[in-house]
Amino acid sequence: MSACAVLAAALLCSVVVAIGLGPAVVTPQDTARHLWAALSGGRIGADEVTTYQIIWQIRTPRVLLAALVGAGLSAVGVAVQAMVRNALADPFVLGVSSGASVGAVGVTVTGGLAALGIHAVSAGAFVGALVASLLVYVASSGGGALSPLRLVLTGVALSLGFQAVMSLIVYFVPDGEATSTVLYWTMGSFGAATWDALPVVAAAVTAGLVVLHRYGRVLDVLSLGDETAASLGVGPDRHRKVLLVVVSLVTGVMVAVSGAIAFVGLVMPHVVRMVVGAAHARVLAVAPLAGAVFMVWVDLAARTVVAPRELPLGVITALVGVPVFVALMRRRGYTFGGR
């Protein structure tokens, strides 16, 4: 597909440019040379060691993590909107991000999971995401049915509950610095990106993309309604349970390493549908690439616009996502799933 080829090329160029930009600017040619030296085991000059470390140890894992999270959020957003048949749904409608935030806040203010060192907050976030997913599943599967309306209502209710718990923890914690750190983390950041975190995220996002792509036809049918799905031989409840597990696990992994990033999973699916149509096989092929490119540039803006300070990612995605979404909704003839 030409759109995939264009976006893949755009992603490669974006990654190289984003790795080179920052307080210490490195040209794309030098960036590519340092990356090749790191990948091939080539030698660099003694006067380039500092630049090499900035490129390879600090910026490269961060940019790659941004691309992975952007791809994952976009793909999961496509699945959630079809699964619950709601154009306003995104990966966080199920309350997973709020649960992850509570886990991260709890670890930060209590010092729990200290044995995990720098990974303690991420581990706490992941545990919180898993607990939230389990609660959503149990609370919304009464009578054996897992209806879209019940999923949405349960997710919204639990999300508000988790946010209340997080607010209470932040309110009563005596350490103002910890509170600021928690609030900043819950708005999204790739500042803690390391090479150690990449394999888990890459594996989770890749596995999620593979599973969701195989469910492309099922998502097409689910978006038509449960009665239509049943008449076509697709069991909506059974497939929805599988999709809920996949969406929850992938979202939990991403939130654990990047925090809560809004609007990517909401807006990107709509933008992609405007270009390639409503067939989920095509949307799930293009949306991850588009989301990856978008998130790489969002992260670049977050760390350079007000340098040396860093903007929360959620602020930038909201500033971009809100007007884009409003413009899409005002577009004449636009409906969920296509033009």
Confidence of residue 144 (pLDDT cuts 50, 70, 90): low
Question: Are the C-beta atoms of residues 269 and 81 closer than 8 Å to each other?
Answer: yes
Name the token pair of 40. 């091939």
Closest CA to 98 of 65, 125, 71: 125
Measured distance CA(81)–CA(91) in Å, rounded = 9
Name the token pair of 41. 């085991």
Average pLDDT value for residue range 126-142: 82
Q: Which pLDDT tens digit goes with each residue over 14-33?
A: 999 999 998 888 998 999 99
Average pLDDT value for residue range 27-53: 87
Q: Is residue 339 part of a domain?
A: no
Q: Is residue 338 part of a domain?
A: no
Q: Is residue 169 part of a domain?
A: yes
* First CA to last CA distance, the chain: 20
Residue with tokens 């959620």: 314
For residue 333, pLDDT over 60 is answered with no
Q: Is residue 119 part of a domain?
A: yes
pLDDT score of 186: 75
Residue with tokens 């691309």: 67
For residue 7, pLDDT over 60 is answered with yes
Q: Which pLDDT tens digit goes with each residue over 280-312?
A: 999 999 999 999 999 999 999 999 998 888 888
Number of domains observed in the structure of the chain = 1
Q: Is residue 237 part of a domain?
A: yes
For residue 207, pLDDT over 90 is answered with yes
pLDDT score of 45: 80
Average pLDDT value for residue range 184-188: 76
Pairwise pLDDT comparison (255 vs 206), residue with the higher score: 206
Four-point Cα dihedral 200, 204, 206, 209, nearest 10: -160
Query: What contacts 6, CB < 8 A, 6 or more positions away?
Result: none
pLDDT score of 70: 96
Q: Is residue 308 part of a domain?
A: yes
**What's the predicted TM-score (pTM) here?**
0.89
Q: Which pLDDT tens digit goes with each residue over 79-116?
A: 988 888 877 788 877 888 888 888 878 887 777 777 87
Q: Which pLDDT tens digit goes with each residue over 223-272?
A: 887 778 778 777 777 888 888 888 888 888 888 888 889 889 989 998 99
- Residue span of the structural domain in which 22 resides: 2-330
Question: Are the C-beta atoms of residues 48 and 27 closer than 8 Å to each other?
Answer: no
Q: Is residue 335 part of a domain?
A: no
Measured distance CA(169)–CA(177) in Å, rounded = 14
For residue 339, pLDDT over 50 is answered with no
Pairwise pLDDT comparison (287 vs 153), residue with the higher score: 287
For residue 71, pLDDT over 90 is answered with yes
What CATH number corresponds to the domain at position 174?
1.10.3470.10
pLDDT score of 332: 56
Question: Are the C-beta atoms of residues 44 and 37 closer than 8 Å to each other?
Answer: yes
Q: What is the mean pLDDT of the chain?
A: 85
For residue 139, pLDDT over 70 is answered with yes
Q: Is residue 38 part of a domain?
A: yes
Q: What angle, 0 to 180 degrees and rounded to 10, lies between the N-to-C axes of helices 264-276 and 280-304?
A: 130
